[in-house]
Amino acid sequence: MTWMRESVPSSRRRAVRDILLYGVCGGVLIAVLKLTEYRFLVVEHSVEIYVALVAAEGPSSNLDAPTTSLLTFR
């Protein structure tokens, strides 16, 4: 039985292809995991995020000033 040897450029090309394939698959997997982690954090801590956004708005400094409406009635 005769073993056929691959040529050096062919095996190098195959190695580069395999490395790129693993890299792309790893990158996609990391992106999916990060998206899942982000969605989990937002759902898990939605109340805290809402409270922080409301608290960041703070109290209005012009409580005595009349409020102006964007809609004017004629």
∠ CA 39-42-43, nearest 5°, is: 85
Q: What is the pLDDT of residue 8?
A: 73
On whether the CB atoms of residues 16 and 9 are closer than 8 A, the answer is no
Distance of CA 68 to the CA centre of its chain: 39
Where does the pLDDT of residue 5 fall: very low under 50, low under 70, confident under 90, or very high at 90 and above? low
Measuring CA to CA, how many Å separate 50 from each of 11, 44, 58? 56, 12, 13
Amino acid at 1: M
- In this prediction the pTM is 0.50
What lies within 8 Å, CB to CB, of 6 at 6+ separation is 14
Domain locations along the chain: 11-55
Indicate the pLDDT class of residue 53, thresholds 50, 70 and 90: confident
